[in-house]
Amino acid sequence: MNIAIVGSGYVGLVSGTCYAESGNEVVCVDIDQNRIAQLCEGKIPIYEPGLEELVRRNLKEGRLRFTTDIGDAIKNSMVSYIAVGTPMSASGAADLTAIFKAAEDIAKSITGYHIVAVKSTVPVGTNDRVREIVGRVAKHRADVTSVPEFLKEGSAIEDFMRPDRVVIGSLSEQATAVLKEIHNPFVRTDNPILVMDPRSAELTKYASNAMLAMRISFINEMATLYDAVGADINAVRRGLGTDKRIGSSFLFPGVGYGGARASGGRGAPAGWREVPRARSRSARECAQGFWRSRHLPQNELRGAQGCRRAADSDRVERVPASQFSAHQVRAEAAGDIRWPEPV
């Protein structure tokens, strides 16, 4: 299958490389000329275990290439995945400008039946707006679908190649059949391909993020309670986690969760926004408790560890450790805080 990936950032690069590894012909597109030049030489601008090796192998074997020419990539492909960024605006909502621009550029370039699959994390209803843009601009029939990603930083290759499930949001039987064909190699262990309408697929992604964040926030709230009554949070965590209805994943107390979606914005339902509030409380309480217990002198150079968003990742934006240090700076006017470079 000939596939185009529009957006060669974290999600786009991992997805495109894994699609190529399964035997597809993949072209990854990006407007950043320096990034594309690096990728064409097999140089990876992000750190993800196993990714560099896969990129270089598929480049060498001709299944993967990179370009800034979206028109060329689309006209030679049957399926285009939109994997561009959706940064948070000042209001906290997702900025969908790049999504809609990508949809328009794809629609202008298709030369026959085409499938547009939105892989970026987007608010519910975005697929409808992309469908309207494609239908208005395209001169050929095109189906618009949603194929959300469920990748964990640090284990993204494993997550993509052996997913717990693949979610396809589609209103077209033809598009569904093609997308199933693309993803069948990844579910040979009988993990399901779940087909639903696009709005349900978009909400499934948000619900998954929210559930994981709620579990972390819940155990942190419990840790605050157990500290007040003199209980052992790790003993309680084991008591909870051994219940098969609950399970032990994401039940480890700490400063909180991190990542680009840590605020709960980006179009998330308003009722879920208590989760990031609990995250902020956890960071603040950890910071206050830590610095009170240390009695460190003012203007001392401090160091922060745990500055990455996940193990085996080099990304540090919106990590809990940044909130930890920020609370200290505001509370005590501390000296410089040194952030180590991820390795």
Tens-place pLDDT, residues 130-140? 999 999 999 99
In a domain, 343, yes or no: no
DSSP state of 146: E
What distance in Å separates the CA atoms of residue 343 and residue 230, rounded to the nearest whole number?
Answer: 37
Give the residue, 171 or 318, on which the prediction is more confident: 171
**Residue 201 domain-assigned?**
no
Residues 134 and 225 occupy one common structural domain: no
Structure tokens at 149: 């990603």
Same structural domain for residues 252 and 327? Answer: yes
Same domain, 79 and 161: yes
Predicted local distance difference test score (pLDDT) of residue 333: 45
Residue carrying the six token digits 């605050």:
224
Token pair listed for 331: 């509370």
Same domain? For 46 and 98 the reply is yes
Last-in-domain residue among 196, 225, 258: 196
Compare 318 and 78 and report the one with higher pLDDT.
78
**Shared domain check, 14 and 152:** yes
Cα–Cα separations (whole angstroms), residue 113 to 78, 179, 232 = 7, 14, 60
Clarify whether residues 57 and 96 are in a common domain: yes
Residue 335 predicted with pLDDT over 50: no
Tell me, yes or no, whether 24 and 114 share the same domain. yes
Within this chain, do residues 11 and 150 fall inside the same structural domain, yes or no?
A: yes
Number of domains forming the structure of the chain: 2
Q: Are residues 144 and 257 in the same domain?
A: no
pLDDT of residue 93: 85
% pLDDT > 90, the chain: 61
For position 334, what pLDDT does the model report? Answer: 46
**Residue 234: CATH number of its domain:** 3.40.50.720
**276 in a domain, yes or no?**
yes
Say what the pLDDT of residue 279 is. 53
> What's phi and psi for 62, nearest 5 deg?
80, 10
Q: Is 214 a domain residue?
A: yes
Are residues 18 and 122 part of one domain? yes
Domain limits for position 321: 206-338
314-334 per-residue burial string, b: 16 or more CB within 10 A, e: under 16: bbbebbbbbbbbebbeeeeeb
Assess whether 173 and 235 both reside in one domain: no
Question: Tens digit of pLDDT for each residue in 53-106?
Answer: 999 999 999 999 999 999 999 999 999 999 999 988 777 788 999 999 999 999
Q: Tell me, what's the pLDDT at 282?
A: 54
For residue 325 the two structure tokens come to 């240090």
Which residue did the predictor score with more confidence, 77 or 343? 77
What confidence tens digit (pLDDT) does each residue in 154-196 have?
999 999 999 999 999 999 999 999 999 999 999 988 899 999 9
- CA gap 65, 58 in Å, rounded: 8
Q: Which of 161, 196, 231 is the last residue of a domain?
A: 196
pLDDT score, position 343 = 46
Confidence band of 331 (pLDDT split at 50, 70, 90): very low
Instruction: Flag whether 25 is in a domain.
Output: yes
> How confident is the model at residue 220, as a pLDDT?
87
Q: Does 39 share its domain with 151?
A: yes
Q: What is the DSSP string of 153-188?
A: TTSHHHHHHS-S-EEEE-S-HHHHHHHHHHHGGG-T
pLDDT tens digits, 108-118: 999 999 999 99
The larger pLDDT score, comparing residue 340 to residue 181, is at 181
The last residue of one of the domains, among 153, 173, 196, is 196
What the block records as the tokens of 53 is 């090796």
Residue 280: the pLDDT is 54
